[in-house]
Amino acid sequence: MLDSRDVKELHPCLQRAAAELIRRLKEEGRPALITSTYRDFEKQNALYAQGRTAPGKKVTNAQGGFSNHNFRVAFDICKNVKGAEFSDAEFFKRAGAVWEEMGGVWGGNFKGFTDMPHFEYTGGLTTADMRGGRKLAEDAKMKWEK
Ligand SMILES: [Zn+2]
């Protein structure tokens, strides 16, 4: 079961973009920390069980293979301030705005299960595409790099 917070586990396009997001936020006086990058299907299924067949509250609507974390094209962040990691909605809204300006998709705008700490870029691929073996191109670039 693998659940990484190492940015090097992400697709190269996402590695660059995550670093850029953190840099831009820092420049604005908003320290951010990456808390999750790549998860294998087994870890995703364990998270899905939480609040359903296992104790805890629901943290995801995605089973293994249905999260972009499983395909190295999503990451989560928190505010890097002890005691205020997830409580500052303004921090996440600003981070989401910066990320969307860069060309990514922010979980805070998901329909249904809103996921404010979540950031992704798939180049338009769905998880169904990726379960079927399609991948974000190795040389993919987000809007901010073009
Ligand atoms: Zn996430």
Q: Residue 141: inside a domain, yes or no? A: no
Residue 47 Cα, ligand 1 centroid: separation in angstroms? 11
What is the domain-level CATH number for residue 11? 3.30.1380.10
Three-state DSSP state, 110: coil
In contact, 77 and 32? CB cutoff 8 Å: yes
Q: Please tell me the predicted confidence (pLDDT) of residue 78.
A: 98
Exposure letters 88-120 (e unless 16+ CB within 10 A, then b): eeebbebbbebbeebebbbbbeeeeeebbbbbb
What's the pTM value of the predicted model, to 2 decimals? 0.95
Beta-ladder partners of 120: 74, 105
Q: Residue 142: inside a domain, yes or no? A: no
Residue 59 Cα, ligand 1 centroid: separation in angstroms? 9
Residue 69 Cα, ligand 1 centroid: separation in angstroms? 6
Q: Residue 116: inside a domain, yes or no? A: yes
Which residues span the domain enclosing 66? 7-136
Confidence class for position 1, pLDDT limits 50, 70, 90:
confident
pLDDT digits (tens, 9 = 90+) for 7-17: 999 999 999 99
pLDDT digits (tens, 9 = 90+) for 75-110: 999 999 999 999 999 999 999 999 999 999 999 999
Q: Is the dihedral of CA 91, 31, 66, 57 positive or negative?
A: negative
Domains of the chain: total:
1
Residue 67 Cα, ligand 1 centroid: separation in angstroms? 8
Q: Torsions phi, psi of 61, nearest 5?
A: -105, 5
Q: Please tell me the predicted confidence (pLDDT) of residue 57.
A: 94
